[in-house]
Structure 1
């Protein structure tokens, strides 16, 4: 089908999530991802990378992907090609492939020009650039035809994944800090609703565990990047009085999105319905979000009104949940502003998955939407790990005691970012 002559879809034809592909720490697939998310099983471990010790950085915990076996995850990829790529490219390619496989879509089943890929990364291939700039005398990190060009471009994970799966539609990579994952999904919704694509693979890839990134956050002061912890798994403590900041996380994740009519026509399993996305730049403070709560509450209520739902119908709020003071209290205040007539005990459960996978920046919104979709599908709320002593400003339900069965059909995912950015995605049970 030629996308230039495609008809505009029926506006009532919803967009649904049918596939999840991941290359995350300790997490090769969607089933293991759900197990970790549901139980709040942290993948944050002790950080023993020599470059951190050499830099004298007191950063001792991170969610690390570890060695990546492309022979297992990307069977059939020519070794001559794989040798030119880096771990970020290979992990993203695996997540894209797996999202299609999880959705039950074989290569060629979607017309190539109707298949698009939108990825998000806040900083691109930092590890390769760091290696290139710190190369030992006599070594050449640019050696090999195309090697440096592939490994050094932020957009190459998406474009090389497109070649791998045969996607000829829109293929792009956006960079919007920590709201980038949401923005990727928002762009996917536009592609599908306009009729420009039939399937969009929306995802993120982030590999920020390098000293330079740690220094950026350390420079913001205490309570942003978690310092040394006796148990790295407890380093991230969202909404807790004893919070200490976040841990860095890395990996890749991609979601397969398509129109509901086509998903049902082929008998696909549907994780959740993606009702809509709303993004706002507060155009106010470069590093701090609205601390009153009015702005975030208005974005959430505006989106819910747009999709024909009400705040009172919310059964779960998947927070950005960075375990930093400003984020924690801003989210809590926004929830109270959204539902001003509700007592704290009547507010919808509000959780975070940052204790599991750390802060993955441009991929964080993708993880949030995947986690929330699985909660809707399984009708089970995920535990917020490491929440033991509530901050008085956050003293309401964070599902701290463990996973919980629930009956709900509406949830929202929240994302916030430097640059005064706020983003919300609404999801519905199918």
Structure 2
């Protein structure tokens, strides 16, 4: 049997300052950062010198607007992370038109794959300390915390709500987990082992321990800026000094094109290829020559049946760390040559919502799909003084209307991991 086309038919979001497709796109297109100043309870006392004080928090969120049928007795047993994930999944499921089609689905051919870098650290932190980190984190009843304490609960509880009896699992592989979830789901769909797969990335990293870990000299990836939170993350800029964390949930529905056609559903985009590799090099730093990333880009385009020049836009990992941005730019030069005017734009959306870790790959892909749908590139905000070693098009001058038919998303992670996903407008 020939491999089947895999398409994206639904998306859902619970992000800092933006819930749902339309609101997320408005923030991305306008380039409005949703980062804010973190309270002392999260940073730790008055905050240590040099510790990042900015982050993308979901301050106002009511799960009842998205899953009103969830009994309060259940909701009290679920963490904020679970409720955000269930809400994003419900949005994506409805966006795909599957709520009205659910009785026609084969439960055994419907699955859910989650992605989270750290799992429920917010719950574990407030449980070990005996109090909530701040007002945004209501306590979960300890007697019923078996769900709140498990990293896989968002996927399994989503499966129960959707009646999905196929493959249900959760990946915990840092920042490449979202891409790998797309790859895993695509393999099941392409080979005829599933009809519909729901993906959900979720992260709630705002606890003192996480900020200490990422601010440590060994990691050194969080920005030390103490100025306006909105300008903290500066991808590809000469003055970049790291990222700020973000929280929330991103969901996506994948299905075979045949299945979508059968129910007369027009897809957003096609997943053309996924590549996930390990550099087997430095545990915390990318290959700075760019050769490994360049090879991955070429593998991804080859697997998709594209030439590198067919790519209209690359949604970079763009963390605003010294090495990540430099390695991405060097890889671009190896793939496309010295004529930077012939390179596709390389952008980053992290300054808008922060770095969502295990959900970041899914967010990158979902944002890229939105750009395809609108035929408009979201800007890379805060890229004001472009680093001479990253001196190419980052869409730094505001949103741009242009042809976006084929695109790529890049992700990199601690542990020498790299991944790429190629997409094509449907």
What TM-score do the two structures reach when normalised by structure 2? 0.94
Matched ranges for 1:387-426 at <5 A: 387-426=383-422
Give structure 1 stretches of 5+ with no counterpart.
1-7
Equivalent pairs, count: 415
* Aligned counterpart, 2:92: 99
Q: Distance in 2 between matches of 1:333 and 1:95?
A: 36
Matched ranges for 1:16-415 at <5 A: 16-54=7-45, 56-57=47-48, 58-106=51-99, 107-135=102-130, 145=143, 147-220=144-217, 224-340=221-337, 342-415=338-411
Q: Distance in 2 between matches of 1:229 and 1:134?
A: 27
Give structure 2 stretches of 5+ with no counterpart.
132-138
Q: Distance in 1 between matches of 2:225 and 2:106?
A: 50
Q: For the structure 1 residues 92 and 19, does the alpha-carbon distance in structure 2 shift closer, same or farther, using more than 3 Å as the test?
A: same
| Residues 121 and 173 in structure 1, CA contact (< 8 A), matched pair in contact too | yes
Q: For the structure 1 residues 143 and 202, does the alpha-carbon distance in structure 2 shift closer, same or farther, using more than 3 Å as the test?
A: closer
Q: For the structure 1 residues 75 and 388, does the alpha-carbon distance in structure 2 shift closer, same or farther, using more than 3 Å as the test?
A: same
Q: For the structure 1 residues 162 and 149, does the alpha-carbon distance in structure 2 shift closer, same or farther, using more than 3 Å as the test?
A: same
- RMSD of the TM alignment (CA)? 1.6
Question: Deviation at 1:71?
Answer: 1.8
| Residues 291 and 330 in structure 1, CA contact (< 8 A), matched pair in contact too | yes
Cα deviation digits, residues 198-225 of structure 1 (max 9, x gap)? 1101120001111111111111369621
Name the SS for the 2:147 alignment partner.
helix
What TM-score do the two structures reach when normalised by structure 1? 0.93
| Residues 47 and 60 in structure 1, CA contact (< 8 A), matched pair in contact too | yes
| Residues 86 and 151 in structure 1, CA contact (< 8 A), matched pair in contact too | yes
Question: Deviation at 1:35?
Answer: 1.3
| Residues 297 and 334 in structure 1, CA contact (< 8 A), matched pair in contact too | yes
Q: Distance in 1 between matches of 2:387 and 2:381?
A: 15
